[in-house]
Structure 1
Amino acid sequence: LELQIHLKHVAWTSSNQALQNMPRVLRDVEALKQEASFLKEQMILVKEDIKKFEQDTVQSMQVLVEIDQVKSRMQLAAEALQEADKWSTLSADIEETFKTQDFAVISSKLTSMQSSLAMLVDTPDYSEKCVHLEALKNRLEALASPQIVATFSSQSVEQAKLFVKVFTEIDRMPQLLAYYYKCHKVHLVGAWQDLCQSELSFNKQLSEFYDTLLSAWHSQLQWSSQVFKNPYEVVTVLLIQTLGAMVPSMPVCLSTAMDRTPQEDKLETLLELYQTTANFGRSLEAAVLPHLGESNPLKVSELVTALFDPYKPYQLQYGHLEESNLLIQISAVPLERGEVIDCVQELSHSVNKLFGLASTAVDRCVKLTDGLGVCGLLKALKALFTKYVSDFSVTLQSIRKKCKLEDAPSAGMFQEDWTAFQNSVRIITTCGELLRQCGAYEQQLSNKILATAGKYLSDSYSPRSLAAIQEASSTDRKASTKNPWQEYNYLLKGNPAEYASLMEMLYNLKEKGTGNSSLLTEPRAALTRLNQQANQLAFDSVFLQIKHQLCLNKGLTADTGCCFADYLSNVMDALGLQPSRTLQQIVTLLKAKPEEYRQTAKALSRRLASTIAAMRNLEY
């Protein structure tokens, strides 16, 4: 009870205190409202003051900017007036300066005039001043010309440095280099003309001229390094201009040399000349490559083009040249002789000669075209094998006539002779060797092509349109780190269609492997047909003996057939030869009993079985 009374007392006391404090809280709230209103008014005033200050500041800055612009224009005007006055002074003094013939002083004056002229671009007579200044530069160049020529002729380093400084100051460095090129070019071209008038062969003339150029390269590079900032580019341009100024020119000399060469020697002559040029190119490459970063790649590429482009027309005609050369050489390989045994020996010896010619053709292709002439090479090889197979076939026909395989048998004049059969087997062996060497040669050819021309095939290549191939080739060249000698490609621009065919061939060789190539499909098929003709020759020579036996015995009995088959086997053994499949079938059919003949013949050649059955008077 006391607790309740106490709680009521506390509650009543708290309520009275709260009621007493309420008016004071309300007064404090009202005071805060008034202060907030006052602060708001003050902030508005401050904001207006700031805005007014900014406007005043902008106006002030604009005034300052305008004042600065006026000041700048006044300074420019003052400088222009000074330069105009300086130009007038220099123009007035230049005549006296020229009288001194001091090139350094004259150059300094002209340089000052050039600087003054740069400040007078907006003046009305600016164009006239430019013309006047150029005339003064021309006058200085003409004045210095004799001494420039003398300096470059005597190889005076100090004097050359002076002229380099002078011509650099007056922006006439290309003109100074023109004097340098002309001075040395005249000397080098004169050396070429002297060689052309000598009794030396053209190849020797070319070799000695290249030695002169190489010597000039090294000597001029050493001298130019002391004078010019870019000696490698300077000497490279010197060689480019010299090669272009040769009289008579390289294309004319090559054409004349080829016209004077007999047809059978044209390709070898061209190859000798090209090798001479290539040797010089390799010497230059060895000299330039370590300093390729100091050279101008475009100028080096231009030098390579100037060196090798005279051979481009002949490289593009390589296939025709090679075909003509091979046909002339294979025509000199005799196959036909008076005696059959001599013909057989010539056929046997011709195999190595044939593939020897084919192998040397590949070597020539690599040396002359760096593998780019492969398409022409394959056409030439096709012509070579076609000619050889034709001559071989004609010889086989001649052997048939000499062995009288087409003559009707005569009972009265028969004398057993297996010489024709023996020779036929030897010819079959020759044909087998032809096919074996053809397969080996095709494998070697594929490997050689891929190893030599494979470098032109991009890893990203895939068969597509010609335009895309050219674009890919261009991209590869830009991304390539090869030197300009490796990048030279006469075929890409000379015959884009043939280049596309070459790329497709290389792609197929790379994808399918060189062991599955079809480069010599047609020649291989022709040699296979030749082998069939040789087998037919052997077959007919065997049946020549059978025909004579038939004439003597008025038919071929089972006993006679068995005896003849045994005799034929003995002849083969005596000759040390293994019977072919056809001969084995003949022996089998000759030995077969009449009642078993039909069953035996089922697994054999129907034509052969019919022929033997007719000889044995059997029904089949």
Structure 2
Amino acid sequence: MFTDKMDVAAFSDENFNPKDWINKALKTSDPTQTKEQAASSLVLKLQLMISKLNTALEDQCQQVVQSIPRIVVEAEQLQQEAAFLKDKLISVKADVESVEQETEQNMRALIQMDRVKERISETSKALQEADNWSILDSQAEEGLLKKDYTLVGEKIAGMQISLRLLHHAQDYQERVDHLESLRNRLEATLSPNLVKAFSNNDREGAKTIVNIFRGMERDKQLTKYYSKCVKARVAQRWTEIVNTPETDVVDWLAMLYRDLLNQAKENKEWCEQIFSDDNPDKITCSVVTGCLTGLDPSLDFCLEAGGKLQPSLLPYLSNLIQKTNDFLSELEPYLSSCTEKECRDLGKAVYGPYRPFVSKYREIEAQTLIKEMESWTSGGKDTIEEIHSLSSSVAKLVQLFTTGATRCNQITKGTAFPAFAGAVRDCMDKHLDRYRKVMRRLEKRKGIADDDWSVLQNCLSAVQITGDLLNQFEELDMKLAMMFLEATRSYLGSDTATNKPLAQYHNFLLNPEKIKELETMYSKVSGKSGGSTTPILKDSLDILKQASADLQKTSFNIMFHPIETQLDKVSELATQQGPGISLEANLPEFSFSPQEYITQTGEYLMTLPQHLEPFMSAADNTNITTGLARALRDGNIPGSKEAVRGGGESAADCSAPVDFLLGCVAVSTCGKYMEQLNGVQGISNNSARQLGIDIGYLGNVLEDLGHCLSGDLASASTLLKIEQQQFKTEALNHPISIATLVKKIRAIQN
């Protein structure tokens, strides 16, 4: 009773662990018992189990001992029977050898007789077939005379069977030649009827003749006959189409495609009834491909001739390509089981007429874009009107190029995007000529910039417009990149490119060189070439940035011209002996006042922010500020690097581009003054102090503008004003180059 509750099976496990078994048994013991009681109970159970096992083992041993004599007796009997069987096998082997020796001659005779029988049978069949061949041949000749071609086909089929049995005959080759002659005669006789049935769409007549051809094993030529007939019928229909009055190429193409689609439908029905063993999709693909490439006049010629009559080529191509796309889309269900090569051959035939246009797409698109762009402007405008026109052209240009990209996708499925990018570049270069003309016109007027501030304002307005154009072009480039990748993914993307043989537009529309160019663009735009992605409009952006940089240089030259004119007087005035300066006595600093050249420079600088106010950051001109800041980011105005290093605002991030421009002016002014100081030498102490006073005045003006003197010019001012006896000590606190320069200016010997 106790053992039934224990896990007895665990004792036979190879990985039996006594500790684990004891712990488990104790856990499942009666909870009312203590551990000692449970252990005692468990020991008792194990002892009872051992006792039962011992008893069972003794019983089993007793039974085995009792059965051993019987097993020994049975083993002896089995040994005797095995010896008896061995003797029998030896006896049988001897009998077999004896029979083989006695019957060897008889078996050879039987085998020889069987071979003779087979040869006699073959000879009999050959004689029968030879007689049958003659009968069938005679009947075939009679059928040809009676024009019973169905009978002739049956007899030729019978002769083919007989010929297979006469392959050992001496005149076998003659019979082969004779049978081939009969086939040729029957095929030549039936071919006109077959062509007539195919041409007239006579399915019953064609079915009868096709069965005859199959019977005489000439069925491989049937689809070729059929294809030729269909092509001839389509070619005749094409001649009628192109001669239809009051129609053009677009109408011709629509009618041709409609006929080809009807033909594809007929092919499927025809093959189900006539060519049941052939693949209807392959026949349709072959027929359509052959029809498109065998037209006279060719589609290439017709499309090119029609294009010459069009006022605008791209809408014409767009209309044609849409019909072609629709045709291929409707034809595709009839091509489901065609191979990739067959589909590609068809695609090349369908899109082949467009290849000459795609190869010249850059020129075609550029002409269209430039023509549209030129319609926005007219000659004879003054500078202000031209700048307003340029400003209004920014959004128009972006819309123009967006429309062009959509058109490129529609006509070329994205394959001509490299050409489109080139067309945009050509159009942009043409557009930038207007900026260049404005720049030359304004540059001629830089001498009156301080009298007519509109010159500078017009310059900065032109720069701001280029910044707006850069901003919108960068947004446009991102949009075009998405359009390009989406359009070309079906044939350039690695995951899907091989799954759509009828979508391999790059193979249909481009030559190998253009394909490589397209793949290179795809790699760069998608980032698969490594590194950062390349803008589609990179060339256009580059020439736009260059034009903007040239405009900025012109604007700065105009802005800086009045300052440069005044500072050119520094070296001349420094050597003149003005009132009070010729005195040898040291004068107090208050005895000096800034000279006219520097005060005029200061007045100009102080007036500059007022006239640049339209370009300052404000709620009502944020777009102007953003455009000007964007343009300055890629420019290289003199002094821009020093202005940024000197604590000025970066052109790339500036929210107040006027401050950046003033910083560049401040740096350039200091640089110009230092350049002038290099041409001064051997002046008196009072003249040197006058220069120092002038520089100090310039520093005060720049400080009012939020900028400061350059370190070199500030050092020069200090060293110019200091007494000679203190110069050596003070010079130690300034750059050696500046100390040397001032020493030369003041003609200090030691």
- TM category, shorter: 0.7 to 0.9
Aligned match of 2:663 in 569, 574, 585?
585
1:454–1:506 CA contact under 8 A, matched in 2? no
Separation (CA, whole Å) in 1 of partners of 2:107 and 2:436: 107
2:470–2:544 CA contact under 8 A, matched in 1? yes
**Whose Rg is larger?**
2
Pair 1:525 & 2:628 matched: no
Aligned residue number for residue 452 of structure 1:
487
Aligned match of 1:251 in 295, 300, 305?
300
Rate the CA distance shift 1:45–1:562 in 2: closer, same or farther, 3 A. Answer: closer
Aligned residue number for residue 151 of structure 2:
105
Pair 1:281 & 2:328 matched: yes
Distance apart, 1:121 and its partner CA? 2.7
Separation (CA, whole Å) in 2 of partners of 1:572 and 1:458: 47
Rate the CA distance shift 1:428–1:51 in 2: closer, same or farther, 3 A. Answer: farther
Distance apart, 1:52 and its partner CA? 6.5
Aligned residue number for residue 205 of structure 1:
252
Separation (CA, whole Å) in 2 of partners of 1:393 and 1:188: 58
Aligned residue number for residue 632 of structure 2:
none
Separation (CA, whole Å) in 2 of partners of 1:84 and 1:422: 112
Pair 1:535 & 2:638 matched: no
Secondary structure at the aligned position of 1:248 is classed as coil
1:549–1:556 CA contact under 8 A, matched in 2? no
**Which amino acid in the other structure matches residue 503 of structure 2?**
Q
Secondary structure at the aligned position of 1:556 is classed as helix
Separation (CA, whole Å) in 2 of partners of 1:342 and 1:602: 32
Q: What pairs up with 1:397-408 in 2 under 5 angstroms?
A: 397-401=440-444, 404-405=445-446, 407=447
Aligned match of 2:358 in 300, 312, 315?
315
2:467–2:548 CA contact under 8 A, matched in 1? yes
Aligned match of 1:506 in 505, 509, 522?
522
Alpha-carbon displacement from aligned partner over 1:150-180 (angstroms, at most 9, x marks no partner): 4345434333322222221122224444443
2:666–2:708 CA contact under 8 A, matched in 1? no
Secondary structure at the aligned position of 2:536 is classed as coil
Aligned residue number for residue 23 of structure 1:
none
1:457–1:507 CA contact under 8 A, matched in 2? no
Pair 1:371 & 2:406 matched: no
Separation (CA, whole Å) in 2 of partners of 1:288 and 1:266: 32
Alpha-carbon displacement from aligned partner over 1:417-441 (angstroms, at most 9, x marks no partner): 3322332332222111111112112
Distance apart, 1:192 and its partner CA? 0.9
Alpha-carbon displacement from aligned partner over 1:225-283 (angstroms, at most 9, x marks no partner): 3333144444443323322331112233344445x357x84455444433332322222
2:143–2:151 CA contact under 8 A, matched in 1? yes
Rate the CA distance shift 1:514–1:256 in 2: closer, same or farther, 3 A. Answer: farther
Separation (CA, whole Å) in 2 of partners of 1:568 and 1:597: 20
Alpha-carbon displacement from aligned partner over 1:71-99 (angstroms, at most 9, x marks no partner): 44433332222211111111122222224
Separation (CA, whole Å) in 1 of partners of 2:506 and 2:342: 16
Separation (CA, whole Å) in 2 of partners of 1:481 and 1:509: 23
Which ranges of structure 2 fall in alignment gaps of 5 or more residues?
1-81, 570-594, 626-656, 670-693, 722-737, 743-750
Q: What pairs up with 1:13-92 in 2 under 5 angstroms?
A: 68-92=114-138
Q: Percent same amino acid among aligned pairs?
A: 27
Aligned residue number for residue 494 of structure 1:
511
2:354–2:509 CA contact under 8 A, matched in 1? no
1:416–1:545 CA contact under 8 A, matched in 2? no
Q: What pairs up with 1:258-277 in 2 under 5 angstroms?
A: 258=307, 260=308, 265-277=312-324
Aligned residue number for residue 464 of structure 2:
429
Aligned residue number for residue 24 of structure 1:
none
Distance apart, 1:333 and its partner CA? 5.9
Separation (CA, whole Å) in 2 of partners of 1:437 and 1:351: 8
Aligned residue number for residue 345 of structure 1:
388
**Which amino acid in the other structure matches residue 284 of structure 1?**
L
Distance apart, 1:445 and its partner CA? 2.0
1:335–1:347 CA contact under 8 A, matched in 2? no
Q: What pairs up with 1:324-335 in 2 under 5 angstroms?
A: 326=369, 334=377
Secondary structure at the aligned position of 1:388 is classed as helix
User: Aligned pair count?
Assistant: 549
Q: What pairs up with 1:405-416 in 2 under 5 angstroms?
A: 405=446, 407=447, 416=451
Distance apart, 1:147 and its partner CA? 4.0
2:387–2:458 CA contact under 8 A, matched in 1? yes
1:372–1:502 CA contact under 8 A, matched in 2? yes
Of stretches 81-90 and 356-365 in structure 1, the one that deviates more from structure 2 is 356-365
Aligned match of 1:159 in 205, 209, 213?
205
Rate the CA distance shift 1:490–1:315 in 2: closer, same or farther, 3 A. Answer: farther
Distance apart, 1:112 and its partner CA? 0.7
CA RMSD of aligned residues (A): 4.7
Distance apart, 1:572 and its partner CA? 5.7
Alpha-carbon displacement from aligned partner over 1:455-498 (angstroms, at most 9, x marks no partner): 334548xxxxxxxxxxxxxxx87xx443x312464269930x54
Rate the CA distance shift 1:596–1:559 in 2: closer, same or farther, 3 A. Answer: closer
Rate the CA distance shift 1:312–1:493 in 2: closer, same or farther, 3 A. Answer: closer
Separation (CA, whole Å) in 1 of partners of 2:101 and 2:514: 79
Aligned residue number for residue 439 of structure 1:
474
Alpha-carbon displacement from aligned partner over 1:572-608 (angstroms, at most 9, x marks no partner): 679966552444437878999638469969997999x
Separation (CA, whole Å) in 2 of partners of 1:534 and 1:452: 37
2:355–2:509 CA contact under 8 A, matched in 1? no
TM-score by length of 1: 0.73
Alpha-carbon displacement from aligned partner over 1:379-411 (angstroms, at most 9, x marks no partner): 33333334433443233223433xx12x4x5xx
1:558–1:594 CA contact under 8 A, matched in 2? no
Aligned residue number for residue 12 of structure 2:
none
